[in-house]
Amino acid sequence: MRIGSILENQKIEKRVAITPEIVKKYTSLGLEVCLVENYASHLGIKDNSYKEMGVKFLNDEKEILNSSEIIVQLGMLSEDKTSSIKENQTIIGVLNPYTNKEKLEILAKKKINLFSLELLPRITRAQSMDILSSQANLAGYKAVIESFANFEKAIPMMMTAAGTVPAAKVLVVGAGVAGLQAIATAKRMGAIVFATDVRMASKEQVESLGGKFLTVEGSENLETEGGYAKEASEEFKQKQEDLLSETLKKIDIVICTALIPGKKAPLIIKDSMIQNMQSGSIIYDLAAIQGGNTAFTEADKVIEKNGIKIMGESNILNKLPVSASNLYAKNVFNFVDNLISKESKKININLEDEIIQKTLIK
C-alpha cells in the first residue's frame, strides 16, 4: 500500500504531516511513502533527507492523490484536488466537520473513508494520537513567548540597587492543554500567574503549576463527559464577568484559550473590562480563529484599544512549524498504525474500535 501527502496551502499552513524520522515507521508497516517534490523544503528539510529513508517523490500532486490508498494532510484538501480521489481511498487529517460539512458529505457519498483527528475520544489508548493536545501544548507556550516579546516591561521581579522591578501579572483564561502550558511557561519566566476555567477539575492542575485559580461558583457543572468545557449559563457568565472585571484591573498580560468544539468562541473579555485594564497591557487571544474571547479580537491583526494590544493569529503554529510537524506526524502515524491490520497489512475499519468509530465521518 502507498501512503501519500502533498503540500498544504502555504499561505495558511506551514506544517507537514510526514517527517523524515517517521518514514521508517511507515515502511515497517509495509507502506510505501510518496510525497510531492520540495515537500518540506520551506522547513529547511531537503528532499534528500526523505529519499535516504526510501521516500518516492513525484512532481504531480494529482498523481500522488490518485495512487495513494492513504492520504495524510493537516487540513481539508481543496475541491479541485479531492476530485481525483477514488472510492475506498482514505483521507486522514484535521477535516473540521463543523465547517466543512457539505464537502465531507459529498466525499463520503463517493465511499471515500474520512478520518478527522480532532474527533478522537479522550481515552488512554488514544493519547499517542491526540493532535489537539500536542498542538495546543505548543500553542500555549508560543502565546506566552509572543506576549512577553511585545510587553514593554520586565517579566520577573528584579531587585536592584536602583529599586525593585515588580513581577508581571499574567491571567490565563481557560485551563485546558494550551492554558496549562501557558501557565507553566509564564511561571518559569518569573511571572505571577492567575487562571480561570469553567471546569472546577482544573483547579488542582493550575495550582500544581504554581498558578492561583480564580474560583467562580458553579464551575463544577460545566464539564462534558469527554473532559471538554461546555457552554455556560447566563448566571454563570455574569459571575465570571464580575470576577474578571476586578481581576483585570491589576493584570499585565492575558492569554485567552477558551474554545467550545464546533462553536463560536465564547466572548469572555468585554469592552468595559478592557477599558479598566492598565495601559501597556497585552491580550493574546488563541481563540481568534473562532471569533475570539475578547470584544475586539481579529485574526492575524494587532488591535490597540486604550493603550492595550489585543493580538490574535489564525494559526500560531506557523511560528513553530518544525516542532509542530514533528509531533503531528507522530500522532498521525500512531493513528495509521491502529488502522492497519497486523495480519493482512490492509486498512481495517473496525467500528467496534472506539478510536476508529469516533473519528470516521459517515
d(CA 346, CA 69): 10
Let me know if 343 is exposed, middle or buried by CB neighbors in 10 A (0-12, 13-18, 19+).
exposed
The CATH homologous superfamily for domain 2-119+321-361 is: NAD(P)-binding Rossmann-like Domain (3.40.50.720)
Same CATH fold, 136-318 and 2-119+321-361? yes
- Domain assignments of the chain as residue spans, ordered by start: 2-119+321-361, 136-318
Contact 142/133 with Cβ under 8 angstroms? Answer: no
Which of 328, 286, 340 has its CA nearest to residue 310? 286
Helix (H) or strand (E) holding 72: strand 70-72
Q: What is the pLDDT of residue 333?
A: 98
Q: Cα 47–52–56 angle (5° rounding)?
A: 60
* Whole-number Å distance between alpha carbons of 328 and 94: 10
Q: Answer whether 85's CB lies under 8 Å from 112's CB.
A: yes
Contacts of 102 (CB under 8 A, 6+ apart): none
Torsion, Cα of 139, 141, 144, 145 (10° steps): -100
Give catalytic residue positions.
122, 127, 130, 133, 228
Q: Express each pLDDT in 51-88 by its tens digit.
A: 999 999 999 999 999 999 999 999 999 988 988 899 99
Low pLDDT (below 70) residues in the chain:
217-232
The CATH fold assigned to 136-318 is Rossmann fold (3.40.50)
